[in-house]
Amino acid sequence: MPAALSEIDVKILIALQEDSRLTVQELADRVGTSPSSCWRRLRSLEETGVIRRYTALVDPKAASVGECVFAHVTLDHHSAETAAVFIDAVRKRPEVLECYAVSGDADYLLRVAVRAIADYNRFLEEFVFQLPFQVRIRSNFALKEIKFETALPLGGA
């Protein structure tokens, strides 16, 4: 990871967060640099891991995966082994979109995407209830999406 991002690097990242399908020429025009310089900077951002990958944002409702559940998970036994088993199991579940170790009442916060509440129940039965240790889980179902952004606030906002 570079020590600091240049002004041009930040402009490249902002432009790509808006539209990752820009050609190098279009990107260079937007950020005010030559295509060759833009290409070198882009490769550097990719190679250093600043840019993790390029992806498409799929509308969950249009793809019939419109239920969003936030699961607060507390492990009843805390050890490095228990945490490793839980984390490994979470990484294998495609419906778990995000997982964070958190402070507060729970140990982990999961964002789970399912087609319907019955699918979340199946997720609990097939995943959570099959873990080789006890967990407590508190589930919050999203009623309405108020804001959803994937772009990081790089412009000083």
Predicted local distance difference test score (pLDDT) of residue 157 = 46
Kindly state whether residue 150 falls inside one of the protein's structural domains. Answer: no
Predicted local distance difference test score (pLDDT) of residue 155 = 81
* Spatial separation of the C-alpha atoms in residues 81 and 2, rounded to whole Å: 33
Predicted local distance difference test score (pLDDT) of residue 2 = 54
16 & 76 share domain: no
Predicted local distance difference test score (pLDDT) of residue 3 = 61
Structurally, the chain folds into a number of domains equal to 2
pLDDT tens digits along 41-89? 999 999 999 999 999 999 999 999 999 999 999 999 999 999 999 999 9
**Structural domain of residue 111, as residue ranges?**
67-141
CATH of the domain at 110: 3.30.70.920
Predicted local distance difference test score (pLDDT) of residue 1 = 46
Q: Cβ neighbours of residue 55 under 8 Å, at least 6 residues apart?
A: 20
* Spatial separation of the C-alpha atoms in residues 133 and 17, rounded to whole Å: 40
Distances (CA, A) of 86 to 4, 31, 42, 96, 104: 35, 43, 36, 12, 18
Kindly state whether residue 91 falls inside one of the protein's structural domains. Answer: yes
pLDDT tens digits along 5-40? 999 999 999 999 999 999 999 999 999 999 999 999
Kindly state whether residue 25 falls inside one of the protein's structural domains. Answer: yes
CATH of the domain at 23: 1.10.10.10
35 & 85 share domain: no
